[in-house]
Amino acid sequence: MKPWIALAVIALQLLVAASVRAEGPAPQGTPAPPAESPKRPVPDYDGRGRPPAPPGEAALWIPRVILSPLYLTSEYVLRTPLSVVVPAAENADLPRKVYDFFTFGPEHKAGFTPVGLVEFNFNPSVGIYAFWDDAGFKGDDLRAHVEAWPDDWLYGSLMERILLADQRTLQLRISGLTRPDKVFYGLGPRSLQADQSRYLLQRIDGSAAYEWRFWRSSRIETAVGVRDVATRDGHFESDPTLTQEVASGAFAVPFGFGREYTAEYNQLLASVDSRAVASGPAPGALLEVAAEQGSDLRNAPASGWLRYRAIAGGYVDLTGRGRILGLSATTFFVDPLGSEPVPFTELVYLGGDHPMPGYYDGRLRDRSAAVATASYMWPIGPWLDGELKLEVGNVFGAHLEGFDVRLLRFSGAFGVTLAATNNNPFQDAPVELIVGLGSEIFEHGAQLNSARVMLGVPQTF
């Protein structure tokens, strides 16, 4: 039936109904139409009662009520504008035009994109990321990343990833970093936010890694490498230098400060991960262990260390639509292998790209750490994933020496990531937005005294 015919039929029905109402009530001799009998409820034929609501639906109301500000931000600040912008961009063929501008070749196997990083209370940076797939031969992929800022801030990395066989890769990487605004607050669980100081870090790192991926997201990775590290007093606005805070009595000089070292290291990682390989959050279970043995070649055999960690976690899809609730526990340890202590730049640390991202990178440092994490991940819109992390933990002495519940801290962080897809050549340069908060130790009231805001491409890939 054509649309105009359907509209004509509906209009005719409305006219007939109106004319009937205009004629007034039916004549006296005409029997009234029988009244409709009330509808009865559907009988419980099998005697099992109504099916219970899915547990995920009921559980989802808890984070929705508690985290309603984040939900409103995700729904109306991000998702709603995207529902308007994305169709308009697609109608204008903007994604293809932008993609063609930043990529080259008939198969778009090479390209570049501008990148940058802005983090509150640190120097910003701007730079470029470039890729070239099948550069020398099929399966040979090159990646380059350079960022800088005029104030002694420079980072660069060059990586070659070679596909040896199905699920097996060899990765060669060299990177260098110099920045004067790294933060140090002292060692141990009781370090104070008020003792913030700045130091300059220079690091050059070269490594070769072999990775074997097998069942689902499980993998085994081995690596060998050499890195050279040097530190000295840094600067950022009016913050005191590390040496000035030592002179004020805030903390002692950490071992390794002002002393350059060259370390040879060997790494091993084994992960059993039942989560399916996917572009977004996925349910499953994770058990991962990793270790690194390092030796200071300038001071061997007196200086060496062994770092190791373990993580166990479970992740459940609450609705079957990519809304993942996760619970995990992580421990970190480092032990000296010689007569000298471990340099402070090789100690366990929390914050930044490590657990408890509500703190600055390296805010908490010591010989060990323990962190419990509750996370919630969900798709926000096209290409965007959201994640909320609520964590409790802290650093402690050797092998969690001095562990006390009263010394734990709280970290909460909300993050948005440009979702990486399997056919996205820029997936090695994810754009992230992180807003986080960190607290004092529970013994001091757990008041929130740390805030972190970061937007850009992190220097971790």
Neighbours of 222 (CB within 10 A): 14
Q: Which residue has the higher pLDDT, 105 or 404?
A: 404
d(CA 368, CA 349) in angstroms, rounded, equals 8
| Kind plus residue range of the DSSP H or E element containing 106 | none
User: DSSP letters along 250-314, please?
Assistant: SSPPPTTTT--EEEEEEEEEEEEE-S---SS---EEEEEEEEEEEEETTTTTT-EEEEEEEEEEE
The widest CA-to-CA distance across the chain, in whole angstroms, is 116
Region 137-152: mean pLDDT is 90
Residue 375 has which token pair?
Answer: 């996370």
Q: What is the pLDDT of residue 53?
A: 55
Q: Which residue has the higher pLDDT, 104 or 251?
A: 251
Q: What is the pLDDT of residue 243?
A: 97
- Residues 6 or more apart in contact with residue 15 via CB below 8 angstroms: none
Answer yes or no: are the C-beta atoms of 22 and 16 closer than 8 Å. Answer: no
The CATH T-level fold of domain 109-456 is Porin (2.40.160)
Tell me how far apart the terminal alpha carbons of the chain are, to the nearest angstrom: 59
Provide the sign of the torsion angle of the four alpha carbons 255, 258, 264, 266, taken in this order.
positive
Confidence band, pLDDT 50/70/90 cuts, at residue 409? very high
**Segment among 140-154, 238-252, 362-376 with least mean pLDDT:** 140-154
Answer yes or no: are the C-beta atoms of 171 and 211 closer than 8 Å. Answer: yes
- Bridge partner list, 327: 314, 374
Confidence band, pLDDT 50/70/90 cuts, at residue 430? confident
Confidence band, pLDDT 50/70/90 cuts, at residue 25? very low
Q: What is the pLDDT of residue 155?
A: 94
Residue 380 has which token pair?
Answer: 């926000």
**Segment among 145-154, 358-367, 451-460 with least mean pLDDT:** 451-460
Q: What is the pLDDT of residue 10?
A: 39
Q: Which residue has the higher pLDDT, 335 or 51?
A: 335
Q: Which residue has the higher pLDDT, 412 or 1?
A: 412
Provide the sign of the torsion angle of the four alpha carbons 42, 45, 49, 53, taken in this order.
negative
Q: What is the pLDDT of residue 92?
A: 66
**Nearest one of 284, 161, 147 to 215, comparing CA atoms:** 284
Mean pLDDT comparison of 62-71, 122-131, 329-338, highest-scoring range: 329-338
The answer to whether residue 345 scores a pLDDT higher than 70 is yes
**Segment among 28-37, 93-102, 109-118 with least mean pLDDT:** 28-37
Answer yes or no: are the C-beta atoms of 182 and 200 closer than 8 Å. Answer: yes
Mean pLDDT comparison of 4-18, 207-221, 293-307, highest-scoring range: 207-221
The answer to whether residue 426 scores a pLDDT higher than 70 is no
Region 257-264: mean pLDDT is 94
Q: pTM score, two decimals?
A: 0.79
- Bridge partner list, 389: 375, 413
Mean pLDDT of the chain: 83
The answer to whether residue 57 scores a pLDDT higher than 60 is no
Confidence band, pLDDT 50/70/90 cuts, at residue 236? very high
Query: At what angle are helices 80-91 and 94-102 packed, to 10 degrees?
Result: 80
The answer to whether residue 420 scores a pLDDT higher than 80 is no
Residue 80 has which token pair?
Answer: 């709603």
Residue 7 has which token pair?
Answer: 């509209």
Answer yes or no: are the C-beta atoms of 324 and 300 closer than 8 Å. Answer: no
d(CA 343, CA 254) in angstroms, rounded, equals 8
Q: What is the pLDDT of residue 274?
A: 94
User: Domain segments of the chain: what residues?
Assistant: 109-456
Residue 384 has which token pair?
Answer: 């965007």
Q: What is the pLDDT of residue 54?
A: 56
